[in-house]
Structure 1
Amino acid sequence: MSINSKPAGQLPEAPVSGPLNGVVVLDLTRVVAGPYCTMMLADQGATVIKIESPSDPDYVRTFPPMLDAPGEPALSGFFAQYNRHKLGVTLDLKKSDGRALFLDMVARAHVVVENFRPGTMDRLGLGYAALREVNPRLVFTAISGFGQTGPYSSRPAFDNTAQAAGGLWSMNGSPGNPTRVGTIIGDLAASLYAAFGTLAALRQAERTGTGQLVDIAQQDAVLTLTENAVVDYFTTGKVAAPLGNEHPFVRPYGRFACQDGYVFFGAYTDKFWREACTAFNEPQLADDPEIDTMQKRFGTEVYERRVRPLVEGWLQSRTKAELEALAGDRFPLTAIRNIAEVVGDPHVRARHMLTQVKHGAAEASVFSSAVHLSAVTPPTDSRAPLLGEDNEAVYRGWLSVDKTRFDALRHAGVLS
């Protein structure tokens, strides 16, 4: 039963103007597989309310790098990066008053996103079956390691779990040395699919008046990133293995050394190969009958004897900048940049791919949204919420909880 029967008040205006203005998202997620999803929704104008336990908040609030501001406690830049544009409240869902307050929120929201282990929300009495009784239009997005169904669904999982179980770990790295992808690709991929699935379900709810459960598994997400490994296995029986910097069926296409580092050289098509031969002052090689087609250049013996030494000779005496200038728009050649070089790249800045996030009195530079809409002006700055920062605005303002009740909830530890 609702703890108050007053009509809903107004939420603070969404910090971003965008196509999702008016959509209210209740965000129960923590770490990255979930917060990144809801951040993407907030980037497009949704009002995202991040809900954290007052006694056990999102523990990435302690993850480095820490941001220092004079006279203020250190705050996490990692947290700020994945929680921009969100409102922040505290709520203890293990207490009956907390669950009742959450149901009030659900009745007025459009989306709930959670990334607990399957069954956790049901044990709290807040699973999808219960919430759709309160709000039939609700979209309930659940992100987990192995999904809501299947024999592994109850297993705990991290990003490495997904990379291992989804096959990506086994085929990444160098031959004989499987290596995890050097970022949390399982968390990030699951978040991207969760955002897409949530929007698809929202669209259907708009048409039909009925919401649904969006079930996202990290293992599933990683499996879809394995390129041709699945179809190749079922077609030829071949099990994908690490190839290092090589490609399974096109050459030359990989990492090559140059004077001051490495570049990606990918002039493998006949058109691009001809352009490369001309750029490196050996146009006659494009018509050399031993290496004049993609198929011929891919053959291992010819590639190792003729093509690889040729490309290595072109590149090794030039710098990354010289090679990029030489290639220009003619054929694919890109410097392999470190992060310092990436954030200093004029193209990255022209694409507005860096933004500032305020977190308390501190500020962090983070990556911006990769979604560019022609009718929407991206924000130039943003903020991430302090723990419970928006309790009054959400509970007293939006849910119309009176001051006596609000103070009692705080005293009982339901809120902070």
Structure 2
Amino acid sequence: MTGALDGVVVLDLSRVLAGPYAAQIMADLGATVIKIENPRDPDVARGFPPYLRAGDAEVSGYYAQYNRGKLGLALDLASEPGREVLTDLIRRADVLVENFRPGTMDKLGLAYETLAAVNPRLVYTAISGYGRTGARSRRPAFDNTAQAAGGLWSMNGYPDQPPVRVGVTIGDLSATMFGVIGTLAALRHAERTGQGQLVDVAQVDSILAMTETAVVDYTVDGKVARPAGNKHSWVRPYELFPCADGQVFFGGYTDKLWRVSCELFGSPEVADDPEIDTMRKRFDEEVYERRVKPLILGWFAGRTRAELEELAGDVVPLTAVKNIGEVVDDPETAARGMVVDVAYGALGTLRMFGQPVKLSVTPATPARRANELNEHADAVLTAVAGYSDERIAALREAGVV
């Protein structure tokens, strides 16, 4: 069965996370993705832990998770012959993904305008820290740059303590998602009209777009978002609560959910208490801390996470807070195909996350091995660029490939 993006050819020139992950999602969905790396300076993520090892051989689990299902080609873009090879690949490609600092591709003579002249229907997706326009566009950036400059870092953590970064690389990951959305939208347009375009995605922009109500809280009420710990800024109850063997999230804040919760936990009379009988009353912080929260703490005390989920999890938003090992080993995770196993020969089996996008007719294929450096050079240059064996041999001899 072919994937939804079957027939789409993607050239992935990106490194580390935001770009590679965007291209990996397209590979999962059926695109032919060609990972193009510098033969003398390949993707640094190949050296990131954790590693599958056997003797002197190893593979990075990090690299494998974000580059699965791609074809590998090493190409020296600093050389004129290398740029000629890329140009020939561009003629047959639908999408190019890169996450260099803006201006890098221009210096190589591979600017969007140049490549668009070769292939007018090309979708050129550029992911960077600050985007391709503005006074900050040339600044170097990492995930933490986006969390800091996009406002998210200042909002995360506990009140009256220094702010805390989000514990995953959300700057990269958010840019990945917006990059894929933009690419697919541009691809749809290109397929319909023959006109490609530049997709410009910035990590900082992506972070700002994920700050929920912080922007309108400021523009409407002048309120600057601050760290709130595990609490929502105004929805109550909607936070973490302790129980006998850990913590659970409980979010029974609407009138309907609150009434059901009172009944489930043996306090039906509380639902009609005139001080806390409406959602708006329970949102009041003083009332919540004095009346509502102590009641919930009493409900949960002495009960385990499993007992609480068994009692109420199918009726109200009540969920055990699990560590990643518990999530990976959860049968429901397996049932959703969200942990996939890939064999790496003598190195063993790599277990990694699957593809969250479930398509009923053209399902994704995430359980695939990542490419070795330059592993598929002959196949790519023959099938996509149309090169002869003699020309490929000459490129190898010259160190271009």
TM-score for the superposition, normalised by structure 2: 0.97
Change (3 A) 1:360 1:144: farther
Q: CA deviation at 1:380?
A: 7.1
Aligned to 1:88: 72
> Once the two structures are superposed, what CA deviation does each residue of 1:194-225 show, in whole Å capped at 9, x if it has no partner?
11100000111111111000000000000011
- Larger deviation: 222-231 or 400-409? 400-409
Aligned to 2:82: 98
Q: How does 1:15-164 map to 2 (within 5 A)?
A: 17-69=2-54, 71=55, 73-164=57-148
Structure 1: distance between partners of 2:106 and 2:365: 38
Q: CA deviation at 1:72?
A: 5.5
Q: How does 1:296-311 map to 2 (within 5 A)?
A: 296-311=281-296
Q: Is this contact kept in 1: 2:30–2:364, CA < 8 A? A: no
Change (3 A) 1:399 1:358: farther
What code does the residue aligned with 2:222 have?
A: G
Change (3 A) 1:310 1:233: same
Q: Is this contact kept in 1: 2:69–2:366, CA < 8 A? A: no
- Larger deviation: 143-152 or 357-366? 357-366
SS of 1:170's partner is helix
Q: Is this contact kept in 1: 2:146–2:204, CA < 8 A? A: yes
Q: How does 1:188-199 map to 2 (within 5 A)?
A: 188-199=173-184
Change (3 A) 1:360 1:142: farther
Question: Could you tell me which of 368, 371, 376 is aligned with 1:382?
Answer: 368
Q: Is this contact kept in 2: 1:266–1:332, CA < 8 A? A: yes
Structure 2: distance between partners of 1:262 and 1:61: 37
What code does the residue aligned with 2:145 have?
A: T
SS of 2:147's partner is helix
Q: CA deviation at 1:407?
A: 2.2
Aligned to 1:414: 400
What code does the residue aligned with 1:265 have?
A: F
Aligned to 1:395: 381
Unaligned runs of 5+ residues in structure 1 are: 1-15
Q: CA deviation at 1:299?
A: 1.1
Aligned to 2:208: 223
Change (3 A) 1:163 1:350: same
Question: Could you tell me which of 305, 320, 329 is aligned with 2:314?
Answer: 329
SS of 1:153's partner is coil
Q: Is this contact kept in 2: 1:84–1:357, CA < 8 A? A: no
Q: CA deviation at 1:328?
A: 2.8
Q: CA deviation at 1:413?
A: 1.8
Structure 2: distance between partners of 1:72 and 1:254: 48
Aligned to 1:356: 341
> Once the two structures are superposed, what CA deviation does each residue of 1:273-326 show, in whole Å capped at 9, x if it has no partner?
111111111111101111111111111221111111111111121100000011
Q: CA deviation at 1:360?
A: 6.2
Q: Is this contact kept in 2: 1:138–1:211, CA < 8 A? A: yes
Structure 1: distance between partners of 2:386 and 2:210: 46
SS of 2:387's partner is coil
Structure 2: distance between partners of 1:274 and 1:312: 17
Aligned to 2:196: 211
Q: Work out the percentage of aligned pairs sharing the same amino acid.
A: 60
The total of aligned residue pairs comes to 399
Q: Is this contact kept in 2: 1:68–1:74, CA < 8 A? A: yes
Q: Is this contact kept in 2: 1:23–1:109, CA < 8 A? A: yes
Q: Is this contact kept in 1: 2:4–2:363, CA < 8 A? A: no
SS of 2:184's partner is helix
**1:371 aligns to 2:321 (yes or no):** no
Unaligned runs of 5+ residues in structure 2 are: none
TM-score for the superposition, normalised by structure 1: 0.94
Q: Is this contact kept in 1: 2:46–2:59, CA < 8 A? A: yes
SS of 1:174's partner is coil
Aligned to 1:404: 390
